[in-house]
Chains A and B, each alone.
Chain A
């Protein structure tokens, strides 16, 4: 469905993505994992072409294909129209618009009124709390509710692929659980393919069908979650299950990781 082929993204003279390739199959939940500064958010922004303002030639190298069509030189609104929904990091709702306005503006690119209406019902089905808050200003809601609102807004464009950037950021474990359950529901009931960017590796591995691990702008692991869970490095550095101690008894900070 989405095919990212060897993309490179530069911030001026700094190369953030060193040639990343991955594919997403229809119907899957795919996780993109990694620590701070690994390039997860940059990958999503590159796919959405949100760096267009900085440079027209972005990504500098490589191609991105969505449903067999190249999107790496398209405008963001066209990409949204083609069916990619994006929930940005840190929610980014419109604070002075009401909840209902926030949700309906997600359907800005659509023209079919009946479809929009049924999708609105669908959003309220997934997030009942938004229905009870629909006339409240979005900026006055809690972090978890704003996250739900951001996901609901993205769903209104009826995406075929939904990209979530750290939905668990700043949320309590219980709320994180709830959000992940809803995301799973969206994937299974509505058949939306999901690309999930997470730092919470444990949670992401639990809900995904396939996972990629990013480090310093490169993909270093790509496998099924069951396999990754058993990986010694991932256990030690991402899941916090220390297995090996160095001579002096300190935990090792990082091991050189190579892929392929």
Chain B
């Protein structure tokens, strides 16, 4: 017993180092799996408050650019509004014209990152604005990510520029769908995997969200095909998608709530509902 205590006292520096190092490693490994990192996230009172303050200052520097983006969007929406003859029978091809299944909340990005391989955003809306985990986040041009954690006033978003994010997406022309992932290299391109070889893939085709995950509605624009190749087994395409969104410059976003999600999950997992 005496020797054990002596050993601990002699090596206390090393043991403390080992303890702290393993704690931080476990945090790191936790953060690699979705929704697991419980306390190490920036959606808390202190960090959210500081980022809110910083963002209030920073927002002045991009006012002109954001105005341009808003004007562009208004322009696009107006052209759709005045050119549509029969609004009743229109299919839901545009990102903002869904039936009431989807509820939109606008938010402001307080913190954006795109240089690391696990990128997250911080929004100024939280659980008090009835935002919950697994809601989709889009900007005026396309998909941004999925809500990861929420606190009372803030929420973190798992960006599509995160190597652990997986979003279902499809070709706009046909219904062949695949998984949208990111390889961590360029913030302007993401990768669409598992598109079957039989699908008619062409450079320049549009990729949209598929609506299969019930997080995003069908038809939200993602990007265009930049280049593609067959994977190692030669059964599926690996497609490089050039994003419509400039992920390095995002300020105003919309959070999408699917109000039918409970019904859909109950229907898909009837056994769990007993």
- Are A and B physically bound partners? no
Interface residues of A (CB under 8 A from B): none
